[in-house]
A and B are shown apart, each in its own frame.
Chain A
Amino acid sequence: MFWRKFEERLFNFLIRLATIIIIGCLFVIVLTIVVKGLPAMSWDMISKSPSGGFYLGKEGGVLNAIVGSLYLGIGASLFALLLSIPVVVYMNVYAPTHSKFAQYIRISLDILYGIPSIVYGAFGFLIMIYLGLKVSLLAGIVTVGLLVLPIMARTMDEVIRTIPKELTEASLSLGATKWETAMKVLLRQAFPGILTAILLGFGRAIGDAASVIFTTGFTDNVPESILQPAATLPLAIFFQLGSPIQEVVNRAYASALILTIMILVISISSRLLSRRFNKNIIK
């Protein structure tokens, strides 16, 4: 009898402890990055590219990586969006009900979602060689775009699937074509979901390092064309952290802070956005 009560008490305590540990990790990580990154921050850090080489030069900031990451993130999200909207439209509008093929695409997207980014990196490298591309922003956009595609497509798909069937049927019964229904009813209804999906994809795209290491390369300059290599924030952190010079290591800390802030802003704003737009939807 005593044991029963004791066991219940013990686990009551343990489950709360486990939850606190898990949330605590998030706070400790963010706090560590802020404490290390804040002293290294300055206006130069976000307005200048490194001078004298990113590994040894003491002067300058990480503008090259900030701009590179933004280019890459925006490019990859656009690329993934252009591919995922048609697929989602096909799965939800054009595919016959209970279509085996649509079912297969859902499963294959789920599996693609689980493939690690280093494998995408290797695959992107193969595409690059096959197409005769050099290490460049374009190769990075294609690779990261493919990496982000499953996240975007499946997020949108889940949102569209929650839209009541009656809405689609009402539109079709009034004589609208499937395309018109998809564009004017489904995608409009799913707009907040699509926005969330884009932000999710963008966040993943600017944070990923293993896939760009092969394809986008690294450079001290802000890229001027899509065919040039580009620096990215994750790689700026990774490469500069190994430097023996303290100023360069500080640049890595500052990049980590910048990246963390970007990611936090994206993930919090996507939450707020979807809450706000949800008000305008026909339930």
Chain B
Amino acid sequence: MVLPLRILLDKVAGKSVLCLSVLIGSLLFLIVGGLYFKSLPILESHSFWDLISKSIWKPGKEQFGFLPYILSTVYITIISLTIAVPLCILCSVYLSEYASKRVKSFVTSLVDILAGIPSVIFGIWGIIMIVPFISDTLAPAFGQEDTTGYSILAGGLVLAIMVFPIVIHIMLEVLRTVPVELREASLSLGANKWETIKKVVLRKAAPGIIAAIVLGFSRAFGETLAVLMVVGNTALIPHSIFDAGYPLPALIANNYGEMMSIPLYDSALMFASFLLLVVILIFNVAARFFMMRVERRMS
């Protein structure tokens, strides 16, 4: 029996979309595998522990200590989250519990627009406003006169703003899943609105809020250009928030040009990308775990 053309088309299409799906499904493994494979040369000549715990960076002499870069990344991420998390929690509570429908949709569209702004715009804004603000006003106020303003604090501030949209977005989703009955029960027992939010809503949504923070963390961890532009890029371990730092993504972006000319250098940079990738994968799995707990709690 000859198949009609349309049935044949359906079969061919079915097979080809399956093939493409398998390809896309394996993309994650390709990225992880590819970067791991490329960082093998440096992992063979240096031990993993040496790479992440030493702080001397002399690619010409085959000394690759990633510690200053790793610490800079961690510090900047912590600074940005210390600023962003409280603001985001307060803002999402306002939007989900207090704001009228119109205000809510207005603010969320503005937050969405903020999410779409490219990182380089945040960077140039940081250079125009944040960096002079730190060197002229903030640092002298803390008794630090001789800073340029290009510091991990500047990086953290710029990053905090970039993290707002993603954290607020997830927190709103989570707060929406808290059943109205719970709020009503608490209010009917005489608790006021804030007490209800503090003791019922936020407590019920806690795992989801942690998930939102973790995802914000992973966004902050890998952000490159905005941070690179304001952070100063000196490969020393920063000792105060007014010191310059040199995060991992900036290291990769700044040295792509010369990496092919020095042995092991390209492998070292691929190892840096691999490190970033692995940390972000771990964060993602953790966030997923917390979100699963939210779903279980709410159902």
Interface class of chain B by DSSP: helix
Set of chain B residues within 8 Å of A120, measured between Cβ atoms: 31
Which of B51-59, B63-71, B88-96, B135-143 is found at the contact surface with chain A?
B88-96
Cross-chain contact B125 with A149 (CB below 8 angstroms): no
Instruction: Report if B18 contacts A (CB, 8 A).
Output: yes
Which of A48-56, A175-183, A219-227 is found at the contact surface with chain B?
A175-183
Set of chain A residues within 8 Å of B192, measured between Cβ atoms: 4, 8
Given A87-B24, A119-B273, A259-B118, the answer on whether A241 and B229 have CB atoms closer than 8 Å is: yes
Instruction: Report if A281 contacts B (CB, 8 A).
Output: no
Instruction: Report if A139 contacts B (CB, 8 A).
Output: no
B281 CB to nearest chain A CB (Å):
7
Cross-chain contact A208 with B14 (CB below 8 angstroms): no
Set of chain A residues within 8 Å of B94, measured between Cβ atoms: 15-16, 18-19
**Nearest 5 pairs of A and B residues by beta carbon:** A116-B222, A207-B118, A18-B90, A177-B10, A15-B94
A5 CB to nearest chain B CB (Å):
8
Instruction: Report if A203 contacts B (CB, 8 A).
Output: yes
Given A83-B20, A213-B256, A263-B117, the answer on whether A122 and B35 have CB atoms closer than 8 Å is: yes
Which A65-112 residues have C-beta < 8 A from chain B?
83, 86-87, 89-91, 94, 101, 104-105, 107-112
Cross-chain contact B113 with A267 (CB below 8 angstroms): yes
Given A15-B91, A111-B281, the answer on whether A22 and B111 have CB atoms closer than 8 Å is: yes
Which A219-270 residues have C-beta < 8 A from chain B?
234, 237-238, 241, 252-253, 256, 259-260, 263-264, 266-268
B contact set with A: CB distance below 8 Å: 6-7, 9-10, 13-14, 16-18, 20-21, 24-25, 27-28, 30-31, 34-35, 38, 86-88, 90-91, 93-95, 98-99, 107, 109-114, 116-125, 127-129, 161, 164, 168, 192-195, 215, 218-219, 221-225, 229, 249, 252-253, 256, 269-270, 273, 276-277, 280-281, 283-284, 288
Given A15-B98, A87-B20, A116-B280, the answer on whether A180 and B6 have CB atoms closer than 8 Å is: yes
Given A8-B192, A32-B129, the answer on whether A119 and B87 have CB atoms closer than 8 Å is: no
Instruction: Report if A210 contacts B (CB, 8 A).
Output: yes
Cross-chain contact A25 with B114 (CB below 8 angstroms): yes
Cross-chain contact B125 with A7 (CB below 8 angstroms): no
Cross-chain contact B164 with A14 (CB below 8 angstroms): no
Instruction: Report if A131 contacts B (CB, 8 A).
Output: no
A112 to B218, CA, bound (A): 12
A104 to B28, CA, bound (A): 11
Set of chain A residues within 8 Å of B13, measured between Cβ atoms: 89, 178-179, 182
Partner of B276, one of A104, A118, A207: A118
**B256: nearest chain-A partner, CB-CB:** A214
A268 CB to nearest chain B CB (Å):
8
Instruction: Report if A114 contacts B (CB, 8 A).
Output: yes
Partner of A209, one of B10, B95, B118: B118
Cross-chain contact A118 with B112 (CB below 8 angstroms): no
A191 CB to nearest chain B CB (Å):
19
Cross-chain contact A146 with B91 (CB below 8 angstroms): no
Cross-chain contact B34 with A18 (CB below 8 angstroms): no
Partner of A146, one of B27, B194, B249: B27
Which A165-194 residues have C-beta < 8 A from chain B?
177-180, 182
